[in-house]
Amino acid sequence: MADYDAIVIGSGAGGMSASLKLARCGFSVLLLEAMPAFGGYLNPFRRRNYTFNPGLHYLGELAREDSFWRLLDELGIGEAVRFVELDPEGFDRYLFPDYELRVCKGREHFIERLISDFPKEERGIEKFFEAFDKIIEAVKASRSMEGEVLKMLSFMLKHPIMLRYSRVPYQRLLDEVTSDRRLQAALAAPCGSYGVPPARASVITAIMVWAHYLKGAYYPHGGGGALRDAFVKGLRKHGAELKNRSRVVSINKQGGEFVVEIESDHRYTARAVISDADPVITLGRLVNPKLVAPRIKTKASRMRPSAGALCAFIGTDLDLPSIGITDANIIHYSDYDINKVYELFPVSRPPEDFPSFFITSPSVKDPDGGHAPEGYHTIEIITGASYELFKKWANLPSGKRGDEYKALKEKMGERLIAAAERYIPGLSQHLDLVEYATPLSNAYWVNAVRGGCYGPEHSPDQIGRGRFTSFTAGIDGLFLAGAGTIGCGVMPCVASGILAGGKAASYLEP
Ligand SMILES: Cc1cc2nc3c(=O)[nH]c(=O)nc-3n(C[C@H](O)[C@H](O)[C@H](O)COP(=O)(O)OP(=O)(O)OC[C@H]3O[C@@H](n4cnc5c(N)ncnc54)[C@H](O)[C@@H]3O)c2cc1C
């Protein structure tokens, strides 16, 4: 008899949601996490008396009864975390050369704001939101399809908008609604949340990200760690076993049972497996190759990862609110042509200046959340960074990559802080603590393919049927969750975990 009903590999948002879904259904679950701490990108880290949150800066759809709140409620943790609402009048400030877009809560309110910013473009803005509504409706309808061909055909007939936009880049939609380059920039501005410029981005992803945040923006009181802790508490309450420092190295199937081996040679057996590791890793490296169909192997081997990032985690004695820093995220763009902005990031040398970056202060968003000591603040600055620049140190563990690596990331980090001084004057003179992370940090801490922030790239050919779904592994009893399935972001990953957990529960039921 198998040791467990299910083994879940990886404790990111997707893995913890899948485990909790199964545990709440009464199945025995073992959650295996490679790293010392659970949570993947939700795992915070502490330096002196500062706490930083690498992979969660804001979330949408969290008002009571909104979609994300309902997902958390389904897992029994809707009430376990308090979400602090960010300024509904402007939680994202996109700063272009001579225009600032302040994103506000509410589709109608935001449309009014766009029309007031671009009065000559009223018709284009309306056209954009007509497409927006149809795409949202189609995405909702697509959730019941599960890849069945006949259902797919009737779906496409009912939702021709998907025929039009599911395989083309977001730039196509932008070109169809307006030729105003400033409005195009405004409509493409949130692309940092999925890491691809409009010329390469999926229309579906771009619209879903807009829809997520137009319902308002929230920050978990206590940071990403508070959400992680709520999951861990829920899992323990429902009897799931959690093991850290347990990197899975192989998944095999013998006599109808899965055999999952971890680095220490220990093996566990289970009737079902859910993997929250990137599907490229799960299907390309962990599962016995004999079990993987050739077309799945090909798909996994062709997947392009998302972009990497350079992050600066800062503790400062600056009184941020007194110099105008609010709970709004600040996103800098050096040009209205966001496609060009992405090209300005050099692949093989450090940039002189950063054409785009994101600044946020968790301690301003959540003042009593324990982020910084009294009188101090935390700031997190993020920008794009190529894996190529750092790849020669890729096989060395964190903290052991030597002086050349350290010097490179410090040089880039210092330039990033200098760039951020446009918005936080004097920052470089008020650094109480600084730590930098590169694409290698993502690769090391969450096993991200080539250090990508968001799983596989969110381009049209890698979304929907082009991506992976909870069941596309093509192996009975093996399911997938996490950013490599529905898409990146905490909410889609939680949804993917619930979906995969539900599928595994149906599979396990006699
Ligand atoms: C800089 C940055 C900022 C972001 N900001 C936001 C934001 O503001 N809002 C938002 O919604 N999203 C944000 N995201 C995206 C979001 O954090 C992720 O999409 C999401 O958390 C990923 O969840 P996941 O389920 O894919 O698992 P991950 O978080 O990727 O975790 C996977 C886990 O699996 C473990 N694992 C992998 N391989 C193995 C193995 N072989 N054995 C055992 N364990 C293994 C890893 O160690 C890791 O713990 C951000 C991401 C980044 C990088």
161 C-alpha to ligand 1 centroid (Å): 31
Please give the Cα distance from 45 to 19 (Å, whole number).
23
Return the pLDDT at 147.
58
Beta strands in 227-266 (DSSP E): 241-243, 248-254, 257-262
Please give the Cα distance from 66 to 126 (Å, whole number).
24
Q: Give pLDDT tens digits for 107-147.
A: 999 999 999 999 999 999 999 999 999 999 999 998 776 65
Please give the Cα distance from 347 to 216 (Å, whole number).
35
Return the pLDDT at 465.
87
Residue partners of 203: CB distance under 8 A and separation at least 6? 135, 165, 166, 168, 169, 170, 172, 173, 460
Chain Cα centroid distance, residue 206: 13
446 C-alpha to ligand 1 centroid (Å): 6
454 C-alpha to ligand 1 centroid (Å): 8
Q: What's the Rg (C-alpha) of the chain? A: 22
Please give the Cα distance from 385 to 438 (Å, whole number).
7
Please tell me the residue having the least CA distance from ligand 1 atom 38: 277
Q: Which of 227, 446, 468 to mutate to test the pocket of ligand 1 (most atoms within 8 A of CB)?
A: 446
12 C-alpha to ligand 1 centroid (Å): 5
Instruction: Specify whether the CB–CB gap between 494 and 59 falls below 8 A.
Output: no
Please give the Cα distance from 423 to 361 (Å, whole number).
12
Contact 276 CB / ligand 1 (< 6 Å): yes
Contact 483 CB / ligand 1 (< 6 Å): yes
* Residue 98 domain-assigned (yes or no): no
* Residue 361 domain-assigned (yes or no): yes
Instruction: Specify whether the CB–CB gap between 286 and 249 falls below 8 A.
Output: yes
Return the pLDDT at 266.
96
Helix (H, G, I), strand (E, B) or coil at 207: helix
Of all atoms in ligand 1, which is nearest to the CA of residue 13?
A: 25
Integer angstrom CA distances of residue 245 from 11, 31, 146, 290 = 11, 11, 34, 27
Whether residues 314 and 300 share a domain: the answer is no
Contact 453 CB / ligand 1 (< 6 Å): yes
Whether residues 391 and 419 share a domain: the answer is yes
Is 432 or 150 the better-scoring residue by pLDDT? 432
13 C-alpha to ligand 1 centroid (Å): 7
144 C-alpha to ligand 1 centroid (Å): 26
Instruction: Specify whether the CB–CB gap between 149 and 87 falls below 8 A.
Output: no
282 C-alpha to ligand 1 centroid (Å): 15
Please tell me the residue having the least CA distance from ligand 1 atom 53: 453
Whether residues 195 and 265 share a domain: the answer is no
Please tell me the residue having the least CA distance from ligand 1 atom 1: 55
Of all atoms in ligand 1, which is nearest to the CA of residue 39?
A: 49
381 C-alpha to ligand 1 centroid (Å): 18
Whether residues 339 and 361 share a domain: the answer is yes
Is 180 or 398 the better-scoring residue by pLDDT? 180
Contact 277 CB / ligand 1 (< 6 Å): yes
Contact 56 CB / ligand 1 (< 6 Å): yes
286: DSSP letter = I
Helices (H) and strands (E) in the chain, counts: 17, 19
Indicate the residue among 213, 241, 274 that finishes a domain: 213
β-strands 267-275, 478-480: how paired? parallel
Indicate the residue among 430, 450, 470 that finishes a domain: 450
Contact 486 CB / ligand 1 (< 6 Å): no
Domain with residue 488: its CATH number is: 3.50.50.60
A 10 A CB-CB count for 298 gives 10
Return the pLDDT at 351.
86
Contact 7 CB / ligand 1 (< 6 Å): no
* Residue 79 domain-assigned (yes or no): no
H runs (alpha helix) in 242-365: 279-281, 294-302, 338-343, 362-365
Contact 498 CB / ligand 1 (< 6 Å): no
HSE-up (13 A, CA, CB side) for residue 27: 29
pLDDT for residue 148 is more than 70? no
Q: Which of 41, 281, 453, 498 to mutate to test the pocket of ligand 1 (most atoms within 8 A of CB)?
A: 41
Q: Could you list the residue range(s) of the whole structural domain that residue 362 is in?
A: 307-450
Whether residues 182 and 275 share a domain: the answer is no
Please give the Cα distance from 429 to 81 (Å, whole number).
36
Of the pLDDT bands very low, low, confident and very high (cuts 50, 70, 90), residue 472 is confident
* Residue 91 domain-assigned (yes or no): no
Of the pLDDT bands very low, low, confident and very high (cuts 50, 70, 90), residue 401 is very high
* Residue 80 domain-assigned (yes or no): no
Residue partners of 157: CB distance under 8 A and separation at least 6? none
Backbone phi, then psi, for 451, in 5-degree steps? 70, 15
Of all atoms in ligand 1, which is nearest to the CA of residue 448?
A: 30
**Distance between start and end Cα atoms, the chain:** 15
The mean pLDDT value for 276-297 works out to 96
Contact 493 CB / ligand 1 (< 6 Å): yes
Sign of CA dihedral 41, 43, 317, 319: positive
Contact 11 CB / ligand 1 (< 6 Å): yes
Contact 447 CB / ligand 1 (< 6 Å): yes
* Residue 81 domain-assigned (yes or no): no
Whether residues 390 and 481 share a domain: the answer is no
Indicate the residue among 175, 193, 213 that finishes a domain: 213
Residue partners of 79: CB distance under 8 A and separation at least 6? 73
Whether residues 441 and 311 share a domain: the answer is yes
pLDDT for residue 149 is more than 80? no
* Residue 101 domain-assigned (yes or no): no
HSE-up (13 A, CA, CB side) for residue 144: 8
Integer angstrom CA distances of residue 198 from 346, 362, 452 = 19, 28, 18
pLDDT for residue 152 is more than 80? no
Instruction: Specify whether the CB–CB gap between 355 and 344 falls below 8 A.
Output: yes
Is 473 or 309 the better-scoring residue by pLDDT? 309
pLDDT for residue 12 is more than 90? yes
Matching residue, tokens 């994202």: 92
490 C-alpha to ligand 1 centroid (Å): 8
444 C-alpha to ligand 1 centroid (Å): 12
Instruction: Specify whether the CB–CB gap between 19 and 29 falls below 8 A.
Output: yes
Q: Give pLDDT tens digits for 304-355.
A: 999 999 999 999 999 999 999 999 999 999 999 999 999 999 888 888 889 9
Whether residues 324 and 393 share a domain: the answer is yes
* Total domains, the chain: 3
